[in-house]
Amino acid sequence: MPLSVKHLLGIKDLTLQDIELIFQTADNFKEVLKRPIKKVPTLRDTTIVNLFFENSTRTRISFELAEKRLSADVINFTASASSVKKGETLIDTVNNILAMKVDLVIMRHSACGAPHFLSKHIQAAIVNAGDGINEHPTQALLDSFSIREKLGDVKGKKVAIVGDITHSRVAMSNIYCLKKQGAEVTVVGPPTLIPKYMAEAMGVNVTYNLREALEWCDVANVLRIQLERQNMPLFSSLREYNLFYGISRELLDGLHKEIIIMHPGPINRGVELNSDVADSKQSIILQQVENGVAIRMAVLYLIAGKKAEN
Amino acid sequence: MRILLKKAHIIAPGQALNGLIRDLLIEDGVIRQIAGEINIVGDRTISRENLHISPGWIDVFAHFCDPGYEYKEDLESGAKAAAAGGFTEVMIIPNTHPPLESKAQIEYIIRKSQHLPVNIRPMGAISKDLEGKALAEMYEMHRSGAVAFSDGTNPVQSSGLFLKALQYVKAFDGIIIQIPDDSGISQHGLMHEGLWSTRLGMPGKPAIAEEMLLERDLKLLKYTESKLHFTGVSLKKSVDLIRAAKAEGLQVTCSVTPYHLLLSDENLQQYDSVFKVNPPLREGDDIMALRNAVKEGVIDCIATHHFPQDVDGKQKEFEYAGEGMIGLESCFGVLGKALENLTVEQKVSLLAVNARKIFGIPIPEIKEGSAADITLFDPEISWIFEENGIHSKSKNSPFKGSKLKGKPLGIINKNRFYTDSSF
* Residue-wise pLDDT tens digits, B123-153: 999 999 999 999 999 999 999 999 999 999 9
- Is A146 contained in some domain? yes
Answer whether residue B364 shows pLDDT above 70: yes
Average pLDDT, chain B: 97
- Asked if ipTM goes beyond 0.85, one says yes
Hey, of A80, A90, A117, which one would you mutate to test binding to chain B, going by the most B CBs within 10 A of its CB? A117
Q: Which of these CATH numbers, 3.30.70.260, 3.30.1200.10, 3.30.1180.20, 3.20.20.140, describes B56-359? A: 3.20.20.140
pLDDT by residue (tens digit) across A86-145? 678 888 888 988 898 999 999 999 999 999 999 999 989 999 999 999 999 999 999 999
Residues of B in contact with A117 (CB under 8 A): 271, 273, 316-318
One domain, residues A170 and A233: yes
pLDDT at A5: 95
What's the pLDDT band for B400 if we cut at 50, 70, 90? very high
pLDDT at A308: 35
pLDDT at B30: 98
- Is A60 contained in some domain? yes
Identify any residues that bridge with B119 across adjacent strands, giving them in sequence order. B89
Count Cα atoms within 13 angstroms, Cβ side, for B360: 11
Mean pLDDT across B386-395: 97
Answer whether residue A225 shows pLDDT above 80: yes
CB atoms within 10 A of CB B218: 20
One domain, residues A268 and A166: yes
CB atoms within 10 A of CB B111: 10
- Is A1 contained in some domain? no
Three-state SS at A300: helix
Answer whether residue A228 shows pLDDT above 90: no
Hey, of A139, A197, A198, A206, which one would you mutate to test binding to chain B, going by the most B CBs within 10 A of its CB? A197
One domain, residues A250 and A198: yes
Give chain A's count of helices (H) and strands (E). Answer: 13, 9
Residues of B in contact with A85 (CB under 8 A): 320
One domain, residues A68 and A149: no
One domain, residues A152 and A119: no
- Is A220 contained in some domain? yes
One domain, residues A148 and A258: yes
pLDDT at A306: 41
What's the pLDDT band for A1 if we cut at 50, 70, 90? confident
pLDDT at A307: 36
Length of chain B measured in residues: 423
Residues of A in contact with B317 (CB under 8 A): 90, 109, 111, 113-114, 117
Q: A116 CA to chain B: closest CA distance, Å?
A: 7
- B44: closest CA among B374, B419, B389? B419
- Is A161 contained in some domain? yes
What percent of chain B lies above the pLDDT cut of 70? 100
What's the pLDDT band for A229 if we cut at 50, 70, 90? low
- Domain of residue A87 covers 11-136+289-309
Residues of B in contact with A196 (CB under 8 A): 193, 198, 204, 206
pLDDT at A309: 34
Contact B319 A117 (CB under 8 A): no
Q: With beta carbons less than 8 A apart as the criterion, state whether B131 and B94 touch.
A: no
d(CA B164, CA A122): 52
pTM of the entire predicted model: 0.93
Answer whether residue A305 shows pLDDT above 80: no
Contact A90 B271 (CB under 8 A): no
d(CA A68, CA A58): 15
Cα–Cα distances (Å) from A145 to A19, A141, A200, B165, B239, in that order, read 9, 6, 26, 61, 50
Hey, of A12, A83, A116, which one would you mutate to test binding to chain B, going by the most B CBs within 10 A of its CB? A116
Q: B318 CA to chain A: closest CA distance, Å?
A: 7
One domain, residues A153 and A57: no
Q: What pairing do the DSSP bridges indicate for beta strands B44-47 and A205-207?
A: unpaired
pLDDT at A310: 33
- Is A91 contained in some domain? yes
Q: CB contact, 8 Å: B271 with chain A?
A: yes
Q: Which helix (DSSP H) or strand (DSSP E) does residue A102 occupy?
A: none
pLDDT at A161: 98
d(CA B148, CA B151): 10
Residue in B closest to A202 by C-alpha: B199
Hey, of B199, B271, B274, B283, which one would you mutate to test binding to chain A, going by the most A CBs within 10 A of its CB? B271
We report the CATH number of the domain holding residue A40 as 3.40.50.1370
One domain, residues A210 and A304: no
Average pLDDT, chain A: 93
The domain total for chain A is 2
Mean pLDDT across A301-307: 76
One domain, residues A119 and A223: no
Q: What pairing do the DSSP bridges indicate for beta strands B416-419 and A104-109?
A: unpaired
Minimum-distance CB partner of B270 among A116, A169, A195:
A116
One domain, residues A189 and A103: no
pLDDT at A82: 53
pLDDT at B421: 75
pLDDT at A209: 97
- B306: closest CA among B286, B323, B326, B320? B326
Q: B86 CA to chain A: closest CA distance, Å?
A: 34
Residue in A closest to B272 by C-alpha: A117
Contact B318 A109 (CB under 8 A): no
Count Cα atoms within 13 angstroms, Cβ side, for A109: 30
Angle between helices A137-151 and A58-69 (to 10 degrees): 80
**Number of CB pairs, chain A paired with chain B, less than 8 A apart:** 76
Residue in B closest to A114 by C-alpha: B317
What are the residue ranges spanned by the domains of chain B? 2-53+367-419, 56-359
d(CA B91, CA B78): 11
pLDDT at B122: 98
- Is A3 contained in some domain? no
pLDDT by residue (tens digit) across A11-37? 999 999 999 999 999 999 999 999 999
Residue in B closest to A175 by C-alpha: B199
Task: Please state which CATH number belongs to domain B2-53+367-419.
Answer: 2.30.40.10
pLDDT at A233: 74
- Is A204 contained in some domain? yes
Beginning with the edge strand found earlier in the chain, give each strand of the sheet holding A125-131 in spatial order: A73-78, A47-52, A104-109, A125-131
